[in-house]
Amino acid sequence: MPDQHQLEPLQEMLTNRFHLAKLVGFSSHSDRISRESVLGSAGKIEQFLETLSHNLRPHWESNKKELLDLKRQENPRATSLYPWDTTYLMTLARSRDADTEASQYMSYFPLGACMDGLSRLFESIYDVHFVIEDASDEDLWAADVYKLSVRSAEDEVLGLIYCDLYQRPDKSSPDCHFSIQGGRRLPDGSYQIPKVVLSLNYEPPQSGVPCLMNFDQIDNLFHEMGHAMHSMLGRTRYQHVTGRSLSRLIILICIFVCLS
């Protein structure tokens, strides 16, 4: 049975959210909070999720059978999967197959090819591309950091991404994206371009062999680049609402498109 001490405040909160939404002219709390999101309404968000669910269902059915077979290896009487099973079974399946699979495909995914693929992907979706820029020693904090500009089809610089992708003994930061300078509209009408850092921890090239990527590393690269491109493509009046300071929906959509 639900804990009434938790259930009652939750019901009260949901009721108050609904009344507040109605008070300011919305049909629901979901419509009110999604007003300024990318999709603009709860109905469009629901449509997006339904489309996503429909497109992924054939893949899920195939994966579900594999996970159920894996579960039956530990429990022969198992007949179904539960929500709490999937994370454990997926981790088990990936750890079981990782060594064999990685050796078969990693040579096709050097880091440089993945970055080039991202540039082509963003060009096809947003009509923007990456250009490696010259940088002075004062502009960079390590020799293996490089500076990318994100440019429009008209070659306008939309923003800068400092790519710090390799492990170093003195580098302690986890995989992340963070801003150096937020984008904002200046008083003279021009735009202050965003500048961000893409900080990852891949093995540096050794003896002429490039950094080769496994699927988890590729997944993480695309994820963090999704955050960086959110900053690059946004055009906001104030820099405190640029990039990840806004709704997360565009970030998730960007990441989903990249991984599809």
Q: Tell me if residue 35 falls in helix, strand or coil.
A: coil
d(CA 150, CA 131): 7
Over the range 78-108, which residues count as b (16 or more CB within 10 Å of their CB) and which as e? eeebeeebeeebeeeeeeeeeeeebeeebee
Which residue out of 36, 61, 123, 224 is catalytically annotated? 224
With the C-alpha atoms ordered 125, 131, 132, 135, is the resulting torsion angle positive or negative?
Answer: negative
Catalytic site includes residue 224: yes
- What phi-psi label fits residue 26: left (phi over 0), alpha (psi between -120 and 50 degrees) or beta? beta
For residue 34, how many other CB atoms are within 10 A of its CB? 21
Question: Using CB atoms within 10 A of its CB, is residue 213 exposed (0-12), middle (13-18) or buried (19+)?
Answer: buried
Cα distances (angstroms) measured from residue 243 to each of 120, 135, 249? 22, 24, 11
Structure tokens at 139: 């502009």
CA neighbor of 90 nearest in space, from 107, 123, 67, 109: 67
| Edge-to-edge strands, sheet with 146-152 | 128-133, 146-152, 157-166, 195-202, 176-181
d(CA 229, CA 244): 10
- Backbone φ and ψ for 99, nearest 5 degrees, come out as -65, -45
Q: Which residues are catalytic?
A: 224
